[in-house]
Structure 1
Amino acid sequence: MAAHDTGAADWSHARREDAMALRSNPTLRQRRLGTELRRMREQAGFGGSQLARALGVNPAQITQMETGKTGISVERLRTIAAVCMCVNEDLITALAEIITGREKPGWWETYRGRLSTDFLEVAELEEQARTLSTYTITFIPGLLQTSAYATAVFSQTYPPIPQHEVDLRAEFRIERQHIVHSGGTPYTAFIHEAALRMEFSGPKVRAEQLNALLTRSETPGISVRVLPFNVTGLPSPVDNFTYASGAIPDLDAVQTDSHFGNRIIDAPAHVARFRAILAQMDSSALSETDTRDFIRFVKKEIENKHD
């Protein structure tokens, strides 16, 4: 293809992109693409207006692309990468897969308007991950909870929420579990001893939850590791968190969970910190076999206490 034909083709793609309606509610995946485009531009030392001039577009379009409010073609992605002198071909390829992977709406979309966006984005993050690792200090990980235990946890929310909301949240949490129970996404759960002993419910529900945890710990693709109280020197974060591995390490993300809501973190320095914390946990936690013995011990304590 002649040089002027290539330019015409890129201009044609640009015109199609410009004509696209702005998204009012970009998905997590679309926003991450925009974030990586912004990082690409900033690492080249360009402002939005500079990149707009180089691409021959309006500066507002740069903002729209970087906030995920409008899509771009793979051709435009590669043009931006070239202008920004990005030579990370693995990253460019992974971003191109985000662009071309226009899949049907995720199952969580059926809950839009009934649950907050925080809940939906957790499910979307989990669905897109290549591997998942969680750390919980206050409760059994959501991906391993029984329905009765999940209901008990949501019933402890303060201020209290209506029963129908409790039931809806518990239902959603159980539906999220298919991603790891199917064995399609390798999952490691680091659980602090405090989470095993926290009394959200009565002894029967707690014992059933620990039984379910033991069963799931032997499911292919699921690894459960306990961090006992006597582990020292662990750089533990304040919040429960989920580490979601992307197609490449550059696209890894972390979701933190607290009473103030969910937060999804993708800044490289912060993600690297959580990656280091996971490595420390891996070396400090009980083995899978010792973890099962420990869970049985806690379960026996509960049964003896309430006999």
Structure 2
Amino acid sequence: MATVRLVPTVRRRRLGGALRRLRNQAGASIEAASEAMGWDPSKLSRIENAKAHLPVKDVAPLLAQYGVTDADVIKALEGLAQDANKTGWWTTYGNVVADGYKDYIGLEEDAESTHIYVQGLIPGLLQTGAYAREIIAGTGPHLGPADVAALAEVRKKRQAILTDSTRPTGPLKLWAVIHETALGYRSAAQPTLMREQLRHLLDMTDLPNLTLQIMPKDAPAHPGMAGPFHVVRFPMPWPTVISLENLRGGYFVEGTDDVKAFESCFELIVAAALPVDDSREAIKKIMEGISR
């Protein structure tokens, strides 16, 4: 029988990274930890590198080797081990969804909250279908109509996370700061597109888990001028992850010092942006200036 290669899911990578961190904190070598578990050292190495599955029943005994007794940490790691092999709904879209985007959606699915600063675009979680299709087509000139439609559908499905009360942490808490220039986009092909998008933004601000601010054009200098980023936070014991994007895809920043730097930057961005109520008024004013 042919060997089935395990595809490293983002959950398995997070589990492996957490286990490696805890082992290092305990000062245990792979050889010593493996011997205590009765394993070949290569097995633990493959688990830490997301190339092998860790059965749920082995999580607590392995953590015991590292001196981890916190019930919440053990439960969290057992949950991740249980879900590590599950593939998300986005995998059904095949290669249309790039690997980095799949990783981000996987993180988003497990996140408790996300803080976002964007400049020229409305965040994907807040886009209407028409806006999403036009922006995806415009920023991906290599994409055919079918791919554009598929990616717009993926973006729409992602938005369910904002109202899904069945998630372990409830609906995703979203704090988005959007630069005013993103609100000024005008579609030559669809004159009412932006008016509908701005109306949608206002409607979304009624959600109790959504905070929306607008960065005015005349705002003082702030860290967001260096580029957009996402601060993705998870329930304990999982560390916060920073997501950065560019035309070639995205990448993640996970080091403690780097994460703290971005979190501090987001606080400065929030301080430079319009307050929530003033942001709503700014959206209304721009929307009213668009021809019906």
TM superposition score category, shorter chain reference? 0.7 to 0.9
Work out which of the residue numbers 113, 127, 131 in structure 2 matches 1:131. 113
Question: Given that residues 250 and 268 in structure 1 are in contact (C-alpha distance below 8 angstroms), is that contact kept between their aligned partners in structure 2?
Answer: no
Poorly superposed stretches of 4+, deviation over 6 Å: none
TM-score, with structure 2 as normaliser: 0.84
Q: Does 1:284 pair with 2:272?
A: yes
Q: For 1:231, give the aligned amino acid.
A: A
Mean CA deviation greater in 124-133 or 199-208 = 199-208
Structure showing greater relative contact order (alpha-carbon pairs closer than 8 Å, 6 or more residues apart):
2
**Residues of 1 paired with 2:204 and 2:70: CA distance?**
39
The alignment yields a C-alpha RMSD, in angstroms, of 2.8
Mean CA deviation greater in 254-263 or 148-157 = 254-263
1:1-307 map, 5 Å: 23-74=5-56, 76-86=58-68, 90-101=72-83, 105-182=87-164, 184-199=171-186, 202-236=190-224, 238-248=226-236, 250-303=238-291
Q: SS at 1:127's partner residue?
A: helix
Question: Given that residues 153 and 200 in structure 1 are in contact (C-alpha distance below 8 angstroms), is that contact kept between their aligned partners in structure 2?
Answer: no
| CA deviation string 1:82-126 (max 9, x = no partner) | 433456664343222322457964322322344322333232222
Question: Given that residues 114 and 173 in structure 2 are in contact (C-alpha distance below 8 angstroms), is that contact kept between their aligned partners in structure 1?
Answer: yes
Q: For 2:196, give the aligned amino acid.
A: E
Specify every segment of 5 or more residues in structure 2 that has no aligned partner in the other structure, as ranges.
Answer: 166-170
Q: SS at 1:57's partner residue?
A: coil
Per-residue deviation at 1:274?
2.4
Structure number, greater radius of gyration:
1
Per-residue deviation at 1:295?
0.9
**Residues of 2 paired with 1:210 and 1:96: CA distance?**
42
| CA deviation string 1:2-49 (max 9, x = no partner) | xxxxxxxxxxxxxxxxxxx77521221111000111122233344434
Question: Given that residues 73 and 237 in structure 2 are in contact (C-alpha distance below 8 angstroms), is that contact kept between their aligned partners in structure 1?
Answer: no
**Residues of 2 paired with 1:297 and 1:212: CA distance?**
14
Mean CA deviation greater in 244-253 or 129-138 = 244-253
TM-score, with structure 1 as normaliser: 0.80
| CA deviation string 1:174-213 (max 9, x = no partner) | 1111111446222222112222224566542122111111
Per-residue deviation at 1:293?
0.4
Question: Given that residues 187 and 193 in structure 2 are in contact (C-alpha distance below 8 angstroms), is that contact kept between their aligned partners in structure 1?
Answer: no
Per-residue deviation at 1:54?
4.3
Question: Given that residues 22 and 70 in structure 1 are in contact (C-alpha distance below 8 angstroms), is that contact kept between their aligned partners in structure 2?
Answer: no
Question: Given that residues 63 and 74 in structure 2 are in contact (C-alpha distance below 8 angstroms), is that contact kept between their aligned partners in structure 1?
Answer: yes
Change (3 A) 1:268 1:95: farther
**Residues of 2 paired with 1:244 and 1:122: CA distance?**
9
Per-residue deviation at 1:223?
1.9
